[in-house]
Structure 1
Amino acid sequence: MRIGFIGAGRVGYTLGKYLSLKGLDISGYFSRHSEHAADAAEFTDTRYFESIVDLINESDAVFITVSDNAIGQIFDDIKCYPEINGKIVCHTSGALSSEIFRDSPYQVYGYSVHPMYAVSDKYTSYKSFSNAFITIEGSPEHLEEMIEIFSSSGLKTGTISSDSKSKYHAASVVASNLICGIYGFGKRLLMDCGMNSQMAETALCGLFRDNAVGITEKGVVSQLTGPLERNDTNTIRKHLDVLESEDRNLYRMCSMEVLKIAKEKNKETDYKEMEDILKGGDC
């Protein structure tokens, strides 16, 4: 299968480079910004296409690797080309489903292929892309073939239904982007204690990294420690007493999720008093 890319951003660079290194046949890149497509083609040792129709002709599968807002527009531009008939068309959005590819007068096999991975740099992210989890949904006709492309390249894969995409993406955001917010919350509290920004980040770095590694290696239930897990209500009260209203509410909401994990870990422990404190009934 020959794979072509419309759009030359971080995901397009990373996917093209990673898959080409794994031996897949990458036809090349087209972009409305021709200099980006030319650079991506050079980076992946593939071809730069000046015509989007030529790229479609030279590809069995076309990956639209542009921003979410532009995916529909790009498909509107290509869906009436006869050359699209019988092609596999994919996007890499976590939020959008394959339903966006339904409206074409030709037979198109649509898929969303989302890497659950933070692609932060277009030139280097491919080096650790083997850590990505690829979530696929779309037309049943080529679903197994799409799974095989990525699983044979050393990537873990899974499938979901198209109507689950929004909740799936919310889960990805919670476990990735929102963690940055929680980390920033902790950093801000340390700065309130008198640390400067660099000292606060240095203090948190090892704790955060080791906790993240522990979760991935042992699972979140086994990794959980701390005052909430050991049912230390006095310490939790002290935390809530020193936090301002907005911070206190955030601490409570996050702690309610942690409490669910603690209950799973310590099934014999009575967390009723702790739950009352977190719900605001007893501070």
Structure 2
Amino acid sequence: MTSTTPPLPTLQLIGGGKLGRTLSRLWHDKGYFSINQILTRNETTANEAQDFIAGGHALWRWSELSAPPQPCLWLIAVADSQLAEAAHTLSQQQLVKPGDVVFHCSGATSSTILKPLQDQGAYTASIHPVHSFANPEKSLSSFAGSHCAYEGDRQALTQLLPAFEALGAELFEVSAKHKSLYHAGSVMACNYLVALLDASFASFAAAGVERERASQLLAPLVHQTADNVFNTSPQAALTGPISRGDHTTVEQQLQALEKLNPEIAKLYNQLGQQTLHIAEQQQQATPEDLQRIQALLDDGKN
């Protein structure tokens, strides 16, 4: 007797952006899922996604979408602002069968946004990779080891967690009702770090330090600071004028930044408030000096 290999589970991809095409390509290369249809907003992006994945069939009209006869998985990989509309449209198409798995990878939105499909008998979930997909080609080799937060129906997770584990993901559970707080933490550490460094570059430029030199001096400083925070704690890692209660330096910097750019001065002020809380826990500066810094920061809010 000859044994036959069971067919691979089928994955339908709605949205062919960087995340969707990267995950689909990884599963395709692993031989974990068979990529069936790839639906994007226009012909160009659909074909680009298909070429990158090296599998699937490109579509760019909802009316062209069909469902395979066997139960399948649907990855809705669109922008957060489009998730509700995509779920509603897919439910109207009545292509999702009872027992299908529908999931998205948003960090800010829970799987409850997929309720129209859940009402049709689908199992729904959300799995958010804490990974930058800015360069999909690079992500193909760097995704393994990425941490992924999950929540949703047990029946959906039974299929999805092994699929992400096959890509080398490190999985952890997060409460659906706390998704916004969870994602805010990621945004502040990642996206806002970019904004903070942009403000830092602007300050250096105004001081006459060219961009290349600023990058050279900031890179080791940022890396060392991050290492200190992760290896110890924010309280152990904090240094600088607020940590030592140097209210004179804080006042001078606030005045200089106000002349340079009031928006950057506001940023300095707001981050100073949070830094002050850490300094208070350190108990290195005197309460009097920290109170004077608090007064300076309070004045800056007006």
User: How would you bin the TM-score normalised by the shorter chain?
Assistant: 0.7 to 0.9
User: What's 1:52 paired with?
Assistant: 65
User: What's 2:274 paired with?
Assistant: 257
Does structure 1 conserve the Cα–Cα contact (< 8 Å) formed by 2:124 and 2:156? no
Q: What is the alpha-carbon distance in structure 2 between the residues aligned to residue 211 and residue 248 of structure 1?
A: 22
User: What's 2:241 paired with?
Assistant: 227
Does structure 2 conserve the Cα–Cα contact (< 8 Å) formed by 1:18 and 1:126? yes
Does structure 1 conserve the Cα–Cα contact (< 8 Å) formed by 2:14 and 2:77? yes
1:95 to 99, 108, 112: 108
From the superposition, tell whether residues 57 and 183 of structure 1 become closer, same or farther in structure 2 (CA, over 3 Å).
Answer: farther
Once the two structures are overlaid, the 10-residue window that deviates more, 15-24 or 128-137, is 15-24
Q: What is the alpha-carbon distance in structure 2 between the residues aligned to residue 156 and residue 253 of structure 1?
A: 34
User: What's 2:254 paired with?
Assistant: 240
Does structure 2 conserve the Cα–Cα contact (< 8 Å) formed by 1:29 and 1:38? no
Deviation digits for residues 171-206 of structure 1, max 9, x if unmatched?
A: 222111111111111111111111233433333233
Task: Name which one, 1 or 2, has greater alpha-carbon Rg.
Answer: 2
Query: Any gaps of 5 or more consecutive residues in structure 1?
Result: none
2:290 to 269, 274, 280: 274
1:203-218 to structure 2, matched below 5 A, reads 203-218=217-232
From the superposition, tell whether residues 16 and 218 of structure 1 become closer, same or farther in structure 2 (CA, over 3 Å).
Answer: farther
Q: What is the alpha-carbon distance in structure 2 between the residues aligned to residue 45 and residue 159 of structure 1?
A: 32
2:51 to 42, 66, 70: 42
2:147 to 117, 133, 137: 133
From the superposition, tell whether residues 271 and 109 of structure 1 become closer, same or farther in structure 2 (CA, over 3 Å).
Answer: farther
From the superposition, tell whether residues 219 and 144 of structure 1 become closer, same or farther in structure 2 (CA, over 3 Å).
Answer: farther
Q: What is the alpha-carbon distance in structure 2 between the residues aligned to residue 233 and residue 193 of structure 1?
A: 21
From the superposition, tell whether residues 85 and 183 of structure 1 become closer, same or farther in structure 2 (CA, over 3 Å).
Answer: same
User: What's 1:6 paired with?
Assistant: 14
Structure 2 SS opposite 1:124: helix
State the percentage of identical aligned residues: 24
1:62 to 60, 74, 89: 74
Structure 2 SS opposite 1:27: strand
**1:11 Cα deviation after fit:** 0.6
Structure 2 SS opposite 1:251: helix
1:147-158 to structure 2, matched below 5 A, reads 147-158=161-172
Instruction: Give the number of equivalent residue pairs.
Output: 281
RMSD (Å) for aligned C-alpha atoms? 2.9
User: What's 1:25 paired with?
Assistant: 33
Structure 2 SS opposite 1:19: helix
From the superposition, tell whether residues 106 and 187 of structure 1 become closer, same or farther in structure 2 (CA, over 3 Å).
Answer: same
Provide the TM-score with structure 1 as the length reference.
Answer: 0.83
**1:92 Cα deviation after fit:** 1.7
Query: Any gaps of 5 or more consecutive residues in structure 2?
Result: 1-8
Provide the TM-score with structure 2 as the length reference.
Answer: 0.79
Instruction: Name the amino acid aligned to 1:37.
Output: A
Deviation digits for residues 204-227 of structure 1, max 9, x if unmatched?
A: 233223333444444544433323
**1:152 Cα deviation after fit:** 4.5
From the superposition, tell whether residues 145 and 279 of structure 1 become closer, same or farther in structure 2 (CA, over 3 Å).
Answer: farther
